[in-house]
Amino acid sequence: MTLKELVSKFNFERVLDSNPQTKSLVLLGSIESQSAIISLEKTPFSVVLLGSIESQSAIISLEKTPFSVESQSSSETVSDLLKRIDEVKLNTINDIYHWGLSTLVQDLEKNASAKLNLIYPATAVHIKKYAQQQQFLINETPEMYVKYVEPYIQTMIGDRIKWVRNILFEGAEAEKTIYKDPIEDKEGFNLSPDMKWDGVNMDSLYLLAIVYREDVRSLRDLNISHQKWLREVNAKIRKIVADRYKGQIKPDQLRLFVHYQPSYYHFHIHVVNILHPGLGNGIAAGKAILLEDVIEQLSFLGEKGFKNRTISYVIGENHDLWKLGLKGEHEKSLSAY
């Protein structure tokens, strides 16, 4: 019996694993009353392209989408997916193991082949961010923050983050918003899907909570006076998401974290399905800090909070801060090794 014939006789029982990082899906079923396992994995594909549209810089990123299964027991959805297996090419057979390649019939609504993001017009900051670059682990002292980072932040607010104010106060992207506190609630926030999420696959759920208050630009601005507020925001986000996607995710299945350095200087919280490890450096140590850890550390950092401690993080050589002084400070510190 050929591999394609074996696959066509597969009777699905349940999902063993669905991994948004490896873009793989492992299914348990049977073929002619004998247990069988099918593993589907999308071939690697992730590329960032720089070009132009009407003489203005533009960035397109393409990434294979994860397999989408509505629930761990949704036989109808998985059966539909199995029917989309088109051509099958056998590579190797060894006893009970079969390896091969296949093509899938694509469907833009249920089984899109790739996720596409466009940034246009793309600024020099965007181009530097997405370009391949050397990375370095630095230890930013409070003195380095005051000397280099704080002046840099002043150049990155105002019109640079006008799009954030548009979301918070002007109704921009309102059709995407999952939850929004009244504007009068100065301690409220706006919760919307991040562009990294396709809006379909719950395993790769990625939301962004942007707070209303404008006195907190990054982790460095947090102190003990913000601890109660952060606890309330943490609990509120978990409840909102669990209620919105009832039966699909629970409050303790969410990972809430902040970035330092952040992509933009208006405080925001990343909200991700805990199953979703496929975020590269965005969720790695040296970039992401769990919100619970931030809240806990505030109990020990004194009145100045995070302005009072050295923060270790990874920075790329294309980052403006690297060229504005962090490179020199880093090279000085290497003499200690």
Active site (catalytic) residues: 268
3-state SS class at 236: helix
Q: State the binding site for substrate.
A: 163, 173, 194, 196, 259-270
Those residues with Cβ within 8 angstroms of residue 180's Cβ, 6 or more apart along the chain or in another chain: 188, 189, 190, 191
Please report, in angstroms and rounded to a whole number, the separation of the first and last CA atoms in the chain: 63
Q: State the binding site.
A: 163, 173, 194, 196, 259-270
- Inter-residue contact 303 to 224 (CB < 8 Å): yes
Calpha distance 310→287 (Å, rounded) = 14
Neighbour count for residue 16 (Cβ, 10 Å): 14
Strand ranges inside 32-96, DSSP E: 34-41, 46-53, 56-64, 85-94
Strand ranges inside the chain, DSSP E: 11-19, 24-31, 34-41, 46-53, 56-64, 85-94, 97-104, 114-119, 135-140, 179-180, 189-193, 206-211, 254-259, 268-273, 288-290, 311-316
